[in-house]
Amino acid sequence: MADAATLPHVGANDLKDMLTPATTALVVVDVQTDFASPEGLLGRVGTDLSSVPPALANIIALIATARKAGATLAFMRVVTSPKTDSNALKTLMARKGMPGGEAICRSDDGGADYHVVTAEPGDIQIDKLLYDSFHGTDLDAQLRARGIETLLITGFSTDCCVDQTARAAFHRDYHAFIVSDACAAYDDDLHVSALNILQKNCALLVASEAVLSAWAR
């Protein structure tokens, strides 16, 4: 079985100089009903969600520690309606034999709601239509207004929205870190492959324990 722990990770001793809370944002990507809850769309169609609870537990711990450390919290959500579905997405789903497969995280049925996590006043909250948290949003402007230089990225799924958000961050000159055990895919091999590609090209990998230790200091 694939194992993310075998990939290169930055240790806690080095992180303390890389994750300065005042210039770091903990980015929580798509922790939503349809992506993370058994009652959501993916759960209802039989997707294996067994990788979600361990990652979610680490996300919750990171959120609490980030607040205590004074880091910025930024929550991303996919929020859609039939009117906002792009032609490219609808056509892609139809050509894959999945017409209607784009109907996820609808704004009117609870699928787009946060799952377990809660944003607080003062946190950044971004609603997006697809995978990249920067595309068509004001995330970049909000981060720069707060002097953020480093993004610590968590959430679902590693191979999709986490991946594309990390790439977009790097292209915008942010220092991107992926918390390998605070994100997940619905297939272990996809999770590890995505992490491996990201660490080779545009991000550093960290474990949640290392982040908690670095910020505790």
By annotation, the residues acting in catalysis are 30, 128, 161
What single letter denotes the amino acid at residue 96? K
Q: What are the E-state strand segments in the chain?
A: 24-29, 72-78, 124-128, 150-156, 175-184, 204-206
What distances in angstroms separate CA 30 from CA 69, 95, 128, 170, one per listed residue? 23, 26, 10, 19
Question: What DSSP state is assigned to residue 84?
Answer: G
Question: What DSSP state is assigned to residue 42?
Answer: H
To 5 degrees, how large is the angle CA 105–CA 140–CA 146?
A: 115
Question: What DSSP state is assigned to residue 162?
Answer: I
Enumerate the H helices of 37-187 as residue ranges: 41-44, 52-69, 87-95, 139-145, 163-171
